[in-house]
Amino acid sequence: MLKNFFLGLKKSALMNKFAPAETRQGAFEYFKDKADKALKKNEMDVFNSTIATLLERFTVAADNSIKDADEKNTIKNYMISLGEPVIAPLKDFIRKSHVVAYPIEILFALIDEKSALEFLDGMLTTEDTLFDDPIVEKRIEVLKHFAGSTHFNVLSKVSTYFNDSDDRLVIASIRFVRDYVFDDKNPNVENIQEIMMNKFLDEETSMRIKIEILNVFIEQEWKITISKKRFEEMLPSGYFINAQGYVKVINTAVKA
């Protein structure tokens, strides 16, 4: 019981964003030593729980942002140095946590890109979010790692985010499409175009999101194929649709 009490104190020190950096560093050294010994003795339950505790440090931001980043990089580099044994508790943490930027960096350092992306694909759930839902930040972070490439399954999920209640996710999803590499085999292009055009024409869609949608049509060189007159009536200053149906920009509107 006393041992658990001491363990709790060390975890509190590790997670205390107001404590001196030396206090958190001392707690890190304690858990590092604990993990090293457990791994040496092949006590994997102890090792996994210790790694899980260290991973929780990524969910807290210390007051001093520079020291905070240094401490997190120290933990990240330590976990990468441990190699394969870290993968199981790391994946478990990513599944459960909403703060995943550093853990995902560790994952890419430990396994090949294809395997990492396949795992992250599974993290992109499609349930509706609530106001200020922490899952939004996780989805946005995961999407970053698929940017500028071709992933049919991810694109299909992203299209369900266009009508999400959180504008942050809507914008991240639209920008994902803006930078997406479509090919001739992609069956979703026309469907995505139609969804985005209808989103633009929706009177409840904010001007900020309308501009993001227009930038997709510019970057992807897509034509406006429905309700061109309505589109023109709703265009913000600086945009126009040419005779061929392509969205063009004058000088006042730029890509976000």
- DSSP assignments along 12-27, one per residue: HHHH-TTS-HHHHHHH
pLDDT in 10s for each residue of the chain, 256 residues: 546 656 777 888 898 888 888 999 999 999 999 999 999 999 999 999 999 999 999 999 988 889 999 999 999 999 999 999 999 999 999 999 999 999 999 999 999 999 999 999 999 988 887 777 889 999 999 999 998 777 888 888 898 899 888 999 999 999 999 998 887 666 678 888 999 999 999 999 999 999 999 999 999 999 999 888 999 999 998 999 999 999 998 864 444 4
Give the Cα separation of 218 and 213 in Å (integer): 9
Q: How high is the pLDDT of residue 251?
A: 66
Read off the amino acid at residue 200.
F
Scored b (16 or more CB within 10 A) or e, 127-147 reads eebeeebeebbbbbbbbebbe
Q: Residue 214's closest CA among 183, 254, 167?
A: 254
Query: pTM of the predicted model, to two decimals?
Result: 0.84
Q: How high is the pLDDT of residue 2?
A: 47
Give the Cα separation of 90 and 122 in Å (integer): 15
Q: Domain map of the chain by residue range? A: 1-111, 128-256
Cβ–Cβ under 8 Å, residues 147 and 176: yes
Q: How high is the pLDDT of residue 191?
A: 86
> Could you tell me how far CA 154 lies from the centroid of its own chain?
13
